[in-house]
A and B are shown apart, each in its own frame.
Chain A
Amino acid sequence: MKEVAQLLNAMCAAGVIAEYALFGAVAQMRYTEPVATLDADVLVALPLPASLDFLAPIYEFCAAKGYVPEGEAMRVGAWPVQFIPVFSTLTRDALHQADAVEFEGVPFRVVRADYLTLIALSVGRAKDFTRILALLEAGSVPREEIGHLAERYGLADAWQRFQARFLND
């Protein structure tokens, strides 16, 4: 994962991406118990307006450093890394407000628990619901706070449904 952090920082420094933040299961593990996941998801903001082949500069940069694509991802050390451009106000805010942490001495930006929860809620697959439950159980994010954020991002109904299905006794 240190290699992933170094690569992402190098991409930022070279202007290939404007900003990045790790999200998904690997980010979730900051708060919960370890999760068996095979890949690392990274939100990226591109310096220019997105074109059709928006991932091309990222892939070219990685290839120049000797990394090879693996399906939808780029293999970086032990991790297939999937780059996902910000696709909504929610993901843009998640990126801007990401935590700046360190991984084995390397600066690394990681999406916060509240935004991880909101993104999972917006995607809404079974594994996303599991993620929300894990984050709530870990006490990493208060339910009221999620309620407020869900309203701000037009996810109030989804949050109501989630609560009715999984949280209300």
Chain B
Amino acid sequence: MTDIRHLLQRQAEWQKARRSLSWAEKIRLVEALHDAIRQFRDMRTRKAHSPLAESAREVSLRKPDVPPPGEGGEEGGRWRGSR
């Protein structure tokens, strides 16, 4: 418990130290955060449109030709071939 209290105390001091940064420095920190978010979004967009993602999407949208093992395929079985 004492360790946790010390940890929180150190964290509070560290946060107070950030308060003493200049306004311009604080804004630059937030702008760096904006850049990181943009890069993350770009990365997600690129991934979503990559050839690998396209082929994965095609596979997932394609109707399976073969029933999953153990589920039959004949009339009356649980598998109907449309997912």
Contact = CB atoms under 8 A, between A and B. Distances in A.
Interface of A is mostly: loop
A137 to B, nearest CB: 9
Interface of B is mostly: helix
Size category of the B interface is 10 to 19
Interface residues of A, number: 17
Nearest to B22: A30
A32 B15 CA distance: 10
Interface string A107-122: 0000000000000000
Contacts, number: 39
Contacts of B30: 26, 29, 34-37
B15 to A, nearest CB: 6
A18 interface: no
Contacts of B35: 78
A1 interface: yes
Interface in B44-80: none
A33 B26 contact: yes
Interface string A95-139: 000000101100000000000000000000000000000000010
Interface of A: 1, 26, 29-30, 32-38, 78-79, 101, 103-104, 138
